[in-house]
Amino acid sequence: MRSSRRLDLIPPYLFAELERKISEKRAAGIDVISLGIGDPDTPTYPAIVAAAQRAVQDPATHQYPSNRGRQDFREAVARFYERRFGVSLDPQTEVMPAIGAKECIFNLNLAFLDPGDVALAADPGYPVYTGGPLLAGAEPVLMPLEPALGFAPDLSRLSAQTLQRARLMFFNYPNNPTGATVPDGFFEDVVKLAGEHEILAVHDNAYSETTYDGYVAPSFLATPGAKDVGVEVFSWSKGYNMTGWRCAAIVGNAEAISHYWKLKSNIDSGLFEAVQLAGIAALDPAVDAEVRAMNEIYARRRDLVCEALAQAGVKVKRPQGTIYIWAPIPDGFASSAQYCEHVLERAAVVISPGGAYGRSGEGFFRISLTTPDDRLLEAVARLREL
């Protein structure tokens, strides 16, 4: 059965392929430790689960939700943005739920790109920044994240032709996969460039609540002028251990959100109201302590991994945010994919090849910290031995 030419344009999704390999090995009795996907290993916090239980028992949540979302959900997001980021949002027009950031980022491509258009994508970056534009019939143009610029792209290197065709720009801090936090002045530069070239700036804010060493991640929307040119996609997945719930929100430019709404009303039927009510519970200040405790666990794991890697002679920068360690592959391997394959075959440890996140990720691998300490240490010991 032939798939569309559109679908032929993109490789199989990185983690779909990894999951297949892992289950093959596990079925063969091999003890595989996966440090691949960034999927929190700790349960969703109890207050959120309790709110969801109450919500599920209420038949009022059982019918189709509206794509615009519940009023109380939109108000809770607006309250949270005010207290957490100092950003004021109109709950009527500047907030809308999404079925996870992945859905939102993908659908923004359908809402804003035509054939011939360009989407500027951070490189390395979340794979949907490139797969989304391709599936929308447009062209992703990679913006290499420069280590010398603190893993920001050099916006001055974008050509006039590219900027003329660009309609979207995807960027993300704290950054997956590099772990970088936003360099000073970068959000301001994006606002300027997006304003000059009528580009919708899309800040993927999947990791703002997962930070360490006292670092507090800002919202892109706190940058003067950002709401005129952009939106931010906030996700509950990582900060609240809610990857399975599929809860996110798009916030910011009202016109952009209304286009997204128009598209979505033709594609899906909104976010389950019980999940919206769980999302509201997560944003309550009482849950902040749970988030802090979780971050202490990740910070400890980060230190364990970084120390073990240092002992093996691998130098890495300790990230102040995200759940990832970004490290160079050892000499003697042709590509990050070859190294990761070797590690899986010889040490039964899954790590992500940097090249899967874009050309500029080549030569690196990513370790996710979402595995209990003992397994994480066992995995790093296996890597060291190898």
Ligand X SMILES: Cc1ncc(COP(=O)(O)O)c(C=O)c1O
Positions in the binding site for ligand X (CB under 6 A): 38, 100-102, 126, 172, 176, 204, 206, 235, 237, 243, 248
CA distance 97 to 21: 34
DSSP 101-150: HHHHHHHHHHHH--TT-EEEEEES--THHHHHHHHTT-EEEEEEEEGGGT
- Of the two residues 101 and 283, which places its CB atom closer to ligand X in the complex? 101
- Choose between 61 and 370: whose C-beta lies nearer to ligand X: 370
CB of 280 to ligand X, least distance (A): 16
**Shortest distance, position 243 Cβ to ligand X, whole Å:** 5
Q: Kindly state the smallest distance separating residue 42's Cβ from ligand X, in Å.
A: 16
Please state the closest distance from residue 172 (CB atom) to ligand X, in A: 5
Residue whose pair of structure tokens reads 């209990």 in the numeric block: 372
Q: Which two tokens stand for residue 125?
A: 């970056």
What are the φ and ψ backbone dihedral angles of 42, each rounded to 5 degrees?
-105, 145
* Shortest CB 135 distance to ligand X, Å: 16
Closer Cβ to ligand X, 91 or 124, answer by number: 124
Residue 32 or 247 with smaller CB distance to ligand X: 247
| Position with the least CB separation from ligand X | 100
8 Å CB contact between 113 and 139: no
Q: How is 251-274 classified by DSSP, letter by letter?
A: EE-HHHHHHHHHHHTTT-----HH
Q: Name the residue nearer to ligand X (CB basis): 197 or 246.
A: 246
Burial class (CB in 10 A: 0-12, 13-18, 19+), 179: buried
CA 80 to chain centre: 19
**Please, what is the minimum distance in Å from the beta carbon of residue 376 to ligand X?**
18
Shortest Cβ 234–ligand X spacing (Å):
9
**Can you list the alpha helix ranges (DSSP code H) found in 166-225?**
186-197
The closest of 209, 208, 254 to 231, measured between CA atoms, is: 254
Q: Quick one: CA dihedral 72, 74, 80, 86, positive or negative?
A: negative
Least distance in Å: CB of 248 to ligand X?
Answer: 4
Nearer residue to ligand X within complex by CB, 204 or 232: 204
Say if residues 153 and 191 touch (Cβ distance below 8 Å): no
Pairing of strands 230-235, 152-153: unpaired
Beta carbon nearer to ligand X, 163 or 370: 370
Task: Give me 293's structure tokens.
Answer: 């405790």
Pick the closer one to ligand X by CB: 67 or 235.
235
